Structure 1
Amino acid sequence: MGNDGHIRRQRRPGQLRRPCGALLALTLAGGLLLTGCAASDDGHSIDGSNKSRGSYGSGGGTGQWPVPAPDQSSDTSQGEQTGDANREIAPSPDYLSTFALDVDTASYGYARRTLADGRLPDPATVRPEEFVNSFRQDYERPDGNGFSVTVDGARTDEEDWSLVRVGLATRTAEQQGERPPAALTFVIDISGSMAEPGRLDLAKDSLGVMTDRLRDDDSVALVTFSDEAETVLPMTRLGDHRGRVHDAIDGLEPTESTNLGAGVDTGYETAVEGLRKGATNRVVLISDALANTGDTDADSILERISDARREHGITLFGVGVGSEYGDDLMERLADKGDGHTTYVSNEGDARKVFSEQLPQNVDLTARDAKAQVAFDPATVQQFRLIGYDDRQVADEDFRDDRVDGGEVGPGHTVTALYAVRTRPGASGHLATASVRWLDPDSRTPHEESGQLETGSLDDGLWSAPTRFQVDAVAAYFADALRTGDNRWNPLPGALPLHELADRAHRVATTTEDTQVRDLANAIEQASELAG
């Protein structure tokens, strides 16, 4: 669909050609018929063998391995048993994968900080999509508001396995033109733990940078919290008042415990009181998220401020700091607060987030954005979405605009990688990727799609375009870091960390990209720590 507010309707390739198991036919908006089969989540392969429970799951994109589908000529029905009376042949998988878009990068930033401190990150804090989305992409940008869709892939050195990339991009801030004014409520953690170098001092420097970068018609409010929360500065139009904002920032000092719930509550109250129509209203939470007083449950905190989110459209931008960091709490707050998170460990990171990437983190291009990839069962035998484990959306909810998606700003890119096993000798259509989003002002729905054929797959992963290689390295790195969590099997084509570091250094030399060089160094550190 173009950017004129109307859905571009197209026939979706990849319908199942024959019924299998329990057939699900969903007639969705626009008359599209998407057909898929219920998927097993019990860890059984199609031949009845049991492959380590939790490692092989449904094809709906749970981040685990779907079971392979039967050959098209197979008439095996669901429930047919093999020699083991308690083991049933699993039905073929659903060939749809649906997820909410995510532009978070905090997981990668915190992993780098942890490695620099001489520790391997906790596997539970490693989210592969945030590693991949931390790097610059070269996707074509759309002509208008919304997204471009790029779908490409490359074969790995494991037989029949490829990495497939779905790349989405919005127009840059320069292309989009002047953004609306911003009304930003900064919620600053001033608890005792923020006294550590690289926490409150970094937050104050970041706020100072952002205050200088904002426009005269932007507004700023300042809320602090420790054991209690306080509105230090009500919503103030910058204009001639920048000095007042800087004075409030300079006066921040660490004290006492961390009542993050009170901070968020007061922050949203202040944002609602200072709400500006026609502006981008956003709460910016800067914290180590080590809540130890008051309400520490993300669901409970956000339930209390749900009206501000739903009725007033006030989104949450979480900025994490500190060598010890409450990753899970910040991630859940941002996901449920219709926003995103990043992590800053030094002054360079802070200036990048609050200065260079200011339009991305302030303005909105799309609300409730979701992606759906339809794999063609004639060519695809098995697939796994790499990451997005907590961003899954039911396939039938792709076009239900009441279902929450992700918020994306100008100049953002979103990348999703899949490990895809094609049928031996298969050729033809492989996948169709679609993105759906709502206009942030009118809430009009839009869609755009892209397709991939097997003949378009690059013959070798390490001869693919350079930016594709960067994405592959980042995904393999994240996958290696979380293999300590026994839910995950290594990705096809995975390399030992020392070999992956070599690959990363080669790519860094080709790109002359310091961020890729930092990635290579982080992989080296992980390799040394892992022994």
Structure 2
Amino acid sequence: MFKLKFLTVTVSTFILAACGQMPSQQMRMGEVAVLSMPAPALNITAYERAQPLVENTENYQKIDTNTVHSVAQQPISTFSIDVDTGSYTNVRRFLTKEAQLPPVDAVRIEEMVNYFNYDYPEQQGKHPFSVSTETVNSPWQPNAKIIRIGIRAKDIAAQQLPPANLVFLVDVSGSMDAENKLPLVKKTLALLTEQLRPQDKVTIVTYASGEDLALAATSGAEKDKILKVIYRLKAGGATSGERAIQLAYEQAEKSYIKAGINRILIATDGDFNVGITDFNTLKGMIAEKRKSGISFTTLGFGSGNYDEQLMEQLADAGDGNYSYIDNEREAKKVLQRQLSSTLATVAQDVKIQVEFNPATVKEYRLIGYENRLLKNEDFNNDQVDAGDIGAGHTVTALYEIIPVGQKGWLNEPRYQVAPTASASLKHEYADVNLRYKLPNQTQSILLNSPVQVTSKPLAQASTDTRFAIAVAAYGQQLRGGQYNANMQWDDILRLAQSAAKPDTFGLREEFIDLLKIAKSLSSEQKKS
């Protein structure tokens, strides 16, 4: 909940008389009186403002920006795939509704870039997704290049999805009593309910001071019955999330559909304050529960007390995805237009490992994915959890590299012997390896895709690559611009505008508007 810190004073006739002033006859005993006398007389300076100070208790995971690595010393980079988009919409809320730049740790660049779909090559053959790369000149460093890795998962039409066993886990505590919280939750869940099929099942669990089974497993054919339960939800009480999560898993297991979609969707501001509230304990519980084959998706709502770290990390631990819902339009994007990718998984535990060729690449840095980094030995270990890809999802990763022979970020070593490589490998910048598991399988599959030594000017790059780089530059600028060099807001804006089409749903146009807002807020900050 919001924590309000302000002074409330009940003034009696005796106090007023002692101060030499009498209350008006209209004032009743017990009313709060705001005095017109000088503040020093009562030594209460708070009266001069008479406005509550709202303490913002939003919580974000600290992120240390990825650093530059020498290929000679660390040629391999390994990370888990990420298809969350919550950071993008949460940052949008700061810019458009709060009229302020977001906290640095609210900005996760990979979630910015992956908010958008890209027209990568369609999946062919036995693998459930395609992998493509493009290398272009960097707009940040004169001698650098950017390697764009693009993944596109096979799509599944909503009506062709396997039967779904869904549990709506709804926070109805007092902290949800705000227009951008429970009322928006109702609209969001109603959108999903309208798309249910007779073979789908929905269970609704609510929680506040206690947890409640508001609706036992009900067929999607009974939409009116489900919607009635959703629309009569009311907020009040403390937040006991841990016990409710346990109940949600119990209900999901009771209605488990073999070879179907089994997923819990929690809708909350993440402000757990009763029961187990420790972040690591909750995350560990979800990580253990994912072994049951039930995924855990988080839908975040609200502001002021929003626990973004909890929402993002619980989804990661539960093999689900994390979305922040700031308006009804976003709800339609996540649970209507992208329903298949939100609910249906086509590849699990997807890991990327890029090995850079020391004969052609001197330095590199991974843009984003800071809280998705893995140890190199984790890549071949099928016991190590990683991200999942939903049907129709596209995933983008960007590396900035310095080719051999070019000046980069690092000083040239004095004593290190330059690496040698076979002449036959000098036509490759890197080797991209992906490991993934098919749903409900335990053994991973390896997919390999070399990156050739070829590049093009940024202006000649594909529309998708140019737009992805513009979004990455936007994220870097919001995080302080450490690696943007001389690229300013206007430069980012021009790059985004050059790649603004096609734009079926107006998302790229909206991004350009956000760029303009961020630029204006940044300028105001510099003036103050």
Measure how far apart 1:494 and its partner are. Answer: 5.7
Alignment pair present for 1:150 and 2:147: no
Q: Which amino acid aligns with 2:100?
A: R
Question: 2:66 & 2:340 partners in 1: Cα distance?
Answer: 35
Contact 1:154-1:461 at 8 Å conserved across structures:
yes
Give the distance between the partners of 1:116 and 1:416, measured in 2 at CA. 27
Give the one of 450, 474, 483 matched to 2:471. 474
Relative to structure 1, the CA distance from residue 208 to residue 389 in structure 2 (aligned partners, 3 Å threshold; closer, same or farther) is same
Task: Give the direction of change, closer, same or farther, for the CA distance of 1:177–1:377 in structure 2 (3 Å limit).
Answer: farther
Is 1:223 the counterpart of 2:220? The answer is no
- Please say if 1:390 is aligned against 2:392: no
Match of 1:162 in 2: 145
Partner secondary structure for residue 500 of structure 2 = helix
Secondary structure of the 1:64 match is coil
| CA displacement at 1:291 relative to structure 2 | 2.5
> Are residue 527 (structure 1) and residue 519 (structure 2) matched?
yes
Give the % identical residues.
Answer: 31
Deviation at 1:177, TM superposition (A): 8.4
- Asked whether the equivalents of residues 129 and 152 of structure 2 are also in contact (C-alpha less than 8 Å), the reply is yes
Query: C-alpha displacement at 1:65, in angstroms?
Result: 2.4
Q: Could you tell me how far apart the structure 2 residues matched to 1:246 and 1:94 are?
A: 55
Say what the alpha-carbon RMSD is for the aligned residues: 2.1
Corresponding position of 2:506: 514
Matched residue, 1:110: 90
Distance 1:509 1:313 in 2: 39
| Matched letter for residue 338 of structure 2 | Q
1:247 to 1:511, Cα distance in 2 relative to 1, 3 A: closer
Write the deviation string for residues 407-465 of structure 1: whole angstroms up to 9, x where unpaired: 1111011111111111127962101112111110334422222222222x11x223311
1:462 aligned onto 2:462: no
Equivalent residues of 2:92, 2:514 under 8 A apart = yes
Q: Distance in 2 between matches of 1:232 and 1:139?
A: 43
Determine the C-alpha separation between the residues in 2 that align with 1:293 and 1:103: 30
2-structure distance, mates of 1:512, 1:273? 41
Q: Distance in 1 between matches of 2:519 and 2:287?
A: 44
1:253 partner amino acid: K
- The equivalent residue for 2:182 is 200
Q: In structure 1, give the amino acid aligned to 2:318.
A: G
Q: Which amino acid aligns with 1:448?
A: L
How far does residue 298 in structure 1 lie from its aligned partner after superposition?
3.2
Q: 2:67 aligns with which of 65, 68, 87?
A: 65
Following the alignment from structure 2 to structure 1, what is the Cα–Cα distance between the partners of residues 182 and 262? 24
Q: 2:326 aligns with which of 345, 353, 356?
A: 345
Contact 2:382-2:443 at 8 Å conserved across structures:
no
Matched, 1:213 2:205: no
Q: Which of residues 267, 278, 281 is equivalent to 2:248?
A: 267
- TM-superposition CA deviations, 1:139-197 (whole Å, max 9, x none): 112124522111112112523211111111110114x9822111011111112222221
8 Å contact from structure 1 (residues 147, 448) kept in 2: no
SS at match of 1:173: coil
Cα separation, 2, equivalents of 1:198 and 1:103: 24
* Letter matched to residue 407 of structure 1: D
Q: Which amino acid aligns with 1:434?
A: N
The SS at the match of 2:363 is strand
Query: What is aligned with 2:113?
Result: 132
Partner of 2:296: 316
Q: Deviations over 1:206-250 (max 9, x none)?
A: 1111111021101111011122221111222323x2222111111
Shift of 1:510: 6.6
Are the aligned partners of 2:80 and 2:387 in contact in 1 as well (CA < 8 Å)?
Answer: yes
TM, length-normalised to structure 1? 0.78
Displacement of 1:303: 3.1
2 CA distance for matches of 1:493 and 1:526? 18
Moved more, 230-239 or 184-193: 230-239
**Structure 2: gaps spanning 5 or more residues:** 1-63, 408-425, 524-528
Q: Which has the larger radius of gyration?
A: 2
Give distance in 1, aligned partners of 2:258 and 2:324: 30
Classify 1:153/1:511 alpha carbon distance in 2 versus 1 (closer, same or farther; 3 Å).
farther
The number of equivalent residue pairs is 438
Report how far residue 492 of structure 1 moved.
Answer: 5.1
Output the amino acid matched with 2:131: V
Q: Return closer, same or farther for 1:299/1:524 CA change in 2, 3 Å cut-off.
A: same
Per-residue CA deviation, residues 45-104 of structure 1 (Å, 9 max, x unaligned), is xxxxxxxxxxxxxxxxx85223435xxxxxxxxxxxxxxxxxxxxxx4221111111100
Aligned residues of 1:160 and 1:423 also touching (Cα < 8 A):
no
Q: 1:283 to 1:454 in 2, by over 3 A?
A: same
Partner of 1:246: 227
Q: CA deviation at 1:342?
A: 0.9
Moved more, 252-261 or 108-117: 252-261
2:473–2:484: 8 Å Cα contact kept in structure 1? Answer: no
Contact 2:168–2:203, Cα closer than 8 Å, also in 1: yes
Moved more, 124-133 or 197-206: 197-206
What's the CA shift for 1:511?
5.2
Q: SS at the partner of 1:236?
A: strand
- Taking a change above 3 Å as real, the CA distance of residues 463 and 494 of structure 1, as seen in their structure-2 partners, is farther
Give the 3 Å change call, closer, same or farther, for CA 469–352 of structure 1 in structure 2: same
What corresponds to 2:356 in structure 1? 375
Alpha-carbon displacement from aligned partner over 1:479-531 (angstroms, at most 9, x marks no partner): 11112xxxxx6225662123322332333267576211111111111111111
Tell me which residue corresponds to 2:403: 422
- Classify the secondary structure of the residue corresponding to 1:390: helix
- Structure 1 window deviating more from structure 2 (294-303 vs 321-330): it is 294-303
Give the Cα–Cα distance (whole angstroms) in 1 for the partners of residues 490 and 275 of structure 2: 45
Q: Pick which of 138-147 and 334-343 moved more.
A: 138-147
Q: Does 1:328 align with 2:309?
A: yes
Q: Secondary structure at the match of 1:227?
A: coil
Structure 1 consecutive aligned stretches of length 4 or more whose deviation exceeds 6 Å = none
